[in-house]
Amino acid sequence: MQRLTLLLTVVLFTAILADDSCRFNHPLYGVIDLASLGLRDGRARFQGITPASGLEYLYSFNPCYSFSEETCQNVAVCQISPDRRYSFELARQTSSSWSLDTSYRPTLNYTSGSKTVLITMVCSSADEDSLEVLGETRLNYYTMQLRSRCACWNGCAGRSSPFTTKLTSRVTTKPTTTRPSIYYSACQYHDSRYGTIDLSTIGNTNGGSVFKDVNSLYPNDYVWSYNPCYSFSEHQCKNVAGCQIDKMNQISYPIGYQSFVYWLNMNATSGLNPTIVYPITTSNRLLKVELICDRTSSANHHLQVVGETAVGEYYMRLTSPCACWNGCNERPSHPSFNWNVWAIIGIAGSVVFLLVVIMMTCLFCSKPKRQRFYTVMSEKTPILKY
């Protein structure tokens, strides 16, 4: 009996620790669990996704469980021609491995024959889970990004029912109480051990950048613009996080987008400042913004542009109280908006009232008494009667 219990415990333990395509156990960072993302009815959770690069094959992927679509039978990833006449099996759930990429992001590696499918986990606090397909980036080498709360360390660990990835319930998940709860977006980074870094009150929400046309430490032909949290457009840069503008040639280039953001040095190691990285997946450009916590510079956010420190790599330093753990709170979206609307109405009302008062004053003071009498008369008598 005891031996059976022991055997069962061992089997259970290995089952939990085993890395399959559903689950990645990392001794330091925690667990990635995709079981709650995958559909279990033989269909793909992400169906017919078009690569970012444009008209090419479509891709379907189901995390954790196998699916069938067109001629792909019991697969993990299927490639389908746009007219749906051809389809190719790219990966099976049984041939997977996990690793960390150079940015320490968990990556699911499916290999079958000569084909490799790499799916990078992009931790996101957005409610919608999404798959971004970068396509066949090299021959027989397919890359994708899975954006989800379940792509965060311990984001969905210990949960198996689909579509219950709610922010509040995650913190109370029993098997992960000893592990930190971490989630992030382009605006904030939360770690249950240290708190939250929230940049949403710095960023402009009006489509422009809060740091506009900033010169670098060593001024040259370029200026840079950057807006934390919200996308902006300037010149030829559309919906970007950062833009480089060539003063001479009047050309501008996006250097980072909010949607692909990840954070570095977030474990509060002294001497290493937290850094936000905004990559551009379709080109080799990348914007890194080092966050320098300064609780004294109340609401005085300062951006220093270091410049292009490596080919295609742009470096900036943002000094702000919001760069500190729990330095700034989230931007209150609705009350602030309402307050602004009422403020505008209030100001407009006051201006109109003042104008009326000034007009009345002019009317009563600068004109002789006779005319005042006349005015009062004409006000009481309806004009249309005549």
Residues within the interface to ligand NAG (CB under 6 A): 97, 99, 109, 111, 116, 118, 267, 269
Q: Quote the least distance from Cβ 291 to ligand NAG, whole Å.
A: 15
For residue 270, what is the enclosing H or E element?
Answer: none
Q: Cα(238)–Cα(156) distance, rounded to whole angstroms?
A: 34
φ, ψ dihedrals at 22, nearest 5° = -85, -30
Q: DSSP character for 250?
A: T
**Choice between 204 and 267, CB closer to ligand NAG:** 267
Q: Quote the least distance from Cβ 325 to ligand NAG, whole Å.
A: 15
Residues in the chain: 386
Q: Quote the least distance from Cβ 63 to ligand NAG, whole Å.
A: 17
Cβ neighbors of 312 (< 8 A, separation 6 or more) are: 283, 284, 285, 286
**Choice between 97 and 137, CB closer to ligand NAG:** 97
φ, ψ dihedrals at 104, nearest 5° = 65, 25
CA atoms lying within 13 Å on the CB side of residue 144: 32
Start-to-end CA span in the chain (Å): 111
191 forms bridges with which residues in the sheet? 182, 195
**Choice between 264 and 324, CB closer to ligand NAG:** 264
**Choice between 68 and 192, CB closer to ligand NAG:** 192
SS3 assignment, position 160: coil
**Choice between 45 and 115, CB closer to ligand NAG:** 115
**Choice between 32 and 255, CB closer to ligand NAG:** 32
